[in-house]
């Protein structure tokens, strides 16, 4: 019989595996403190997932340190992110 907890463990493992790729270029932005800044983070996340990006990206939130890190496979994507959103 299939156990739901087994399914959840597998789903979590699959999600972490999808994040496991080299992304040596990063842009660090301050953690959002207003709704407008939160909307901006959502816009950046959407931009980072667009098909026009040269490589993959991931977003990591470090609330305790007050930062959001966008990591990119492509140097060009990281530079464009920094120029557009800093």
Give the pLDDT score at 82.
96
20 or 61, higher pLDDT: 61
pTM beyond 0.75: yes
Give the pLDDT score at 21.
81
Percent residues over pLDDT 70 in the chain = 87
Percent residues over pLDDT 90 in the chain = 63
Give the pLDDT score at 55.
86
CA distance 75 to 62: 22
Average pLDDT over residues 46-66: 91
CA distance 81 to 74: 11
CA distance 4 to 10: 10
CA distance 30 to 4: 37
pLDDT band at 54 (very low <50, low <70, confident <90, very high): confident
| Domain range summary for the chain, segments of one domain joined by + | 23-85
């Amino acid at each position: 019989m299939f156990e739901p907890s087994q399914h959840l463990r597998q789903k979590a493992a699959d999600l972490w595996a999808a994040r496991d790729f080299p992304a040596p270029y990063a842009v660090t932005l301050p953690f959002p403190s207003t709704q407008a800044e939160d909307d901006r983070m959502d816009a950046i996340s959407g931009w980072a997932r667009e098909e026009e990006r040269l490589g993959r990206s991931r977003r990591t939130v470090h609330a305790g340190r007050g930062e959001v890190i966008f990591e990119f496979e492509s140097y060009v994507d990281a530079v464009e992110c920094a120029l557009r959103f800093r």
